[in-house]
A and B are shown apart, each in its own frame.
Chain A
Amino acid sequence: MTLSVDIAHRLGGFALDAAFEAGPGVTALFGPSGSGKTSIAKAIAGLLRPERGCITLDGEAMLDVAGGICVSPARRRIGVVFQDARLFPHLTVAQNIAFGERYAPPGAPGLEAAVIQRTLGIGALMARLPASLSGGEKQRVAIARALAMRPRLLLMDEPLAALDGPRKDEILPYLERLRDDGGVPIVYITHAVGEMARLADRIVVLRVGRVLRAGNMTDVLSDPAMVPLIGVREAGSVLIARVTEANSGGLSRLTISGGELRLPGIDARAGTSLRVRIMAQDVLISLSRPVGLSSRNVLPAVIEGVHRGDGPGVALSLRIGEDRLLARITAEAMDELGLAPGVACFAVLKATAVARADIGARQ
């Protein structure tokens, strides 16, 4: 699956001019509000006709303004999950899900109804009306409804933005399962770095209607130059770790390409691969291997890149084996320690610094 988007549109004083591609897996469109994410989503779904540009899905033109082509939303077969669920209030959950099934072309590839129900955990809700569902349940039903039409692409426009923290954490595992077992490519629109770190394979970073950066999730998130765009408190890199010794009550052991992590609160069996997001502000740097320190994680690293911003902080990317770790320290400390690209050092991370919500499943 390849979705290719190259569109321009003006809306009041706002100019959108964005081009990117999305392939299999999850492509996250990331940007703050006002970056044009929702306009792009509407254009992909066919709910907004841009002034200029093309959108193709697997080589088939969905939009070609110059060529006079604009396929109607009904014929695009792009499943859309809206922020506000948009379940039909007069239909039960089962009827909502069945709504799009009749339009799916016979033999279209996709998940069976029973698999969708199981994947999203909605089997017990089928006879209910939307008004009686919680926010999280509504959103799971909305995802099921979009999947039941056997879409070529699942387009999710901030599906968790209207939910509170615990509801988000409730749905994220379902989305991970969908990514890993669903076989449907997903374009995931969000302004939440945490969701992106858990779900995305690729990231397209948007700012005021333009694409600033597109690339692999781990590369983009560990790029020190991205820190100002992602937000200094939100910036952090994602490491792929494999559980070697599970200990759900205490500290578990995980291996990464360049060493070992010890983290608490891991609910996975030994052998499972996980995504672990480590906030840049939680990483300390030491020139020598520290002794008499409480931190459980000390990893040998080499400084690879430095990004100095306008403020007192600096972002560093550290190479640890195959992985890259992002650290944020003060410029003063960097100068005092003489840190520069190529310098060998140790990255120090408190075991308790990694939040449970920042540990996610990986295929």
Chain B
Amino acid sequence: MLDADARNAVLLSLQVSVVAVLCTLPLAIAVAWLLARRRFPGHSVLSALVHLPLVLPPVATGYLLLLTFGRSGWIGGALAEIGIVLAFRWTGAALAAGIMGFPLMVRAIRLSIEAVDPGLEEAAATLGAGRWAVFCRVTLPLIGPGVLAGAVLGFAKAMGEFGATITFVANIPGQTQTLPSAIYAFLQVPGGEGSALRLVIAALILSIGAVLVSEWLARRMAARIAA
């Protein structure tokens, strides 16, 4: 039902979104923990920085990415020397998607960490657990549903990300053309509405499927830690 370009776009979007979420999730958990449990100079600066992609126009984020991670950008240049190129590649799309979804993930995870009674972490510490053990054995299991919610939000954002992606990696069929970029491309050519609609339906099925799976997982986790 989908032609080759459309199918490639769906698969690429899935690939980009999964990689984006898997790579940013550990960092999002770490930043969320810092923001929720530590007070340090620069706390509000870090918080503002994390939220920046949420408030900045996505195209602006994409342009900033191009400036820093492009071949002549200060990070992109260094990466290019060791053979890693992000601009106009699918990896760049994953970077853009990850950055756009990052604030949503941090928010969801931070809220769930703040909901964990610090008294439980204190109790774990008095039982002999160091900071890392406290996190792994008490905090992390208790924030499971929050981490899942953050991951689903990040995934949904990554699947739908358009502005930053198209600015940073353009819209090359089979290489950087994600699902939203493909819908946009189909709508630019006469007679492309049918293909666009089929892609929209594919997007609908994927989104609803993701929500259902996450609901089911969340219910299982909540049942385990029923308070």
B48 within 8 A of A: no
B37 within 8 A of A: no
Q: Which of B104-143 contact A (CB under 8 A)?
A: 117, 119-120, 122-130, 133, 137-138, 141-142
Knowing A74-B129, A103-B129, say if A88 contacts B226 (CB, 8 Å). Answer: no
A131 within 8 A of B: yes
Verify A73–B125 contact, CB threshold 8 A. Answer: yes
Rounded to whole angstroms, the CA-CA distance of A88 and B126 in the bound complex is: 13
Chain B residues within 8 Å of chain A by Cβ, number:
21
Rounded to whole angstroms, the CA-CA distance of A82 and B124 in the bound complex is: 12
Which chain A residues border B123 with CB–CB below 8 Å?
80, 82, 86, 88
Who on chain A is nearest to B226 by CB? A131
Name, among A84, A89, A102, the residue most crowded by chain B CB atoms within 10 Å (CB to CB). A89
Instruction: Looking at the assembled complex, report how far the CB atom of B37 sits from the nearest CB atom of chain A, in whole angstroms.
Output: 14
Verify A89–B142 contact, CB threshold 8 A. Answer: yes
B201 within 8 A of A: no
B189 within 8 A of A: no
Verify A72–B127 contact, CB threshold 8 A. Answer: no
A146 within 8 A of B: yes
From A46, A78, A79, A131, give the contact of B227 (CB < 8 A). Answer: A131
A145 within 8 A of B: yes
Verify B119–A74 contact, CB threshold 8 A. Answer: no
Rounded to whole angstroms, the CA-CA distance of A146 and B141 in the bound complex is: 21
Instruction: Looking at the assembled complex, report how far the CB atom of A159 sits from the nearest CB atom of chain B, in whole angstroms.
Output: 13
Knowing A82-B119, A86-B120, say if A103 contacts B226 (CB, 8 Å). Answer: no
Which chain B residues border A103 with CB–CB below 8 Å?
127-129
Which chain B residues border A100 with CB–CB below 8 Å?
127-129
Knowing A47-B122, A72-B125, A82-B119, say if A90 contacts B142 (CB, 8 Å). Answer: yes
Verify B227–A89 contact, CB threshold 8 A. Answer: yes
From B124, B128, B226, give the contact of A89 (CB < 8 A). Answer: B226
A174 within 8 A of B: no
Rounded to whole angstroms, the CA-CA distance of A104 and B150 in the bound complex is: 36
Contacts A99-B124, A100-B127 supplied; 15 other A-B pairs, CB < 8 Å: A73-B122, A74-B126, A79-B126, A86-B117, A86-B119, A86-B123, A89-B225, A89-B226, A89-B227, A90-B224, A99-B137, A103-B128, A145-B127, A146-B126, A149-B128
Q: Taking beta carbons and an 8 Å cutoff, which residues of A are in contact with B?
A: 45-47, 72-80, 82, 84, 86, 88-90, 99-100, 102-104, 129, 131, 145-146, 149
Q: List 30 A-B contacts (CB under 8 A).
A: A45-B126, A47-B125, A72-B130, A73-B122, A73-B125, A74-B128, A74-B129, A74-B130, A75-B128, A77-B128, A78-B126, A80-B126, A84-B119, A86-B122, A86-B123, A88-B120, A88-B123, A88-B138, A89-B120, A89-B225, A90-B142, A90-B224, A90-B225, A99-B124, A100-B129, A103-B129, A104-B128, A129-B226, A146-B127, A149-B128
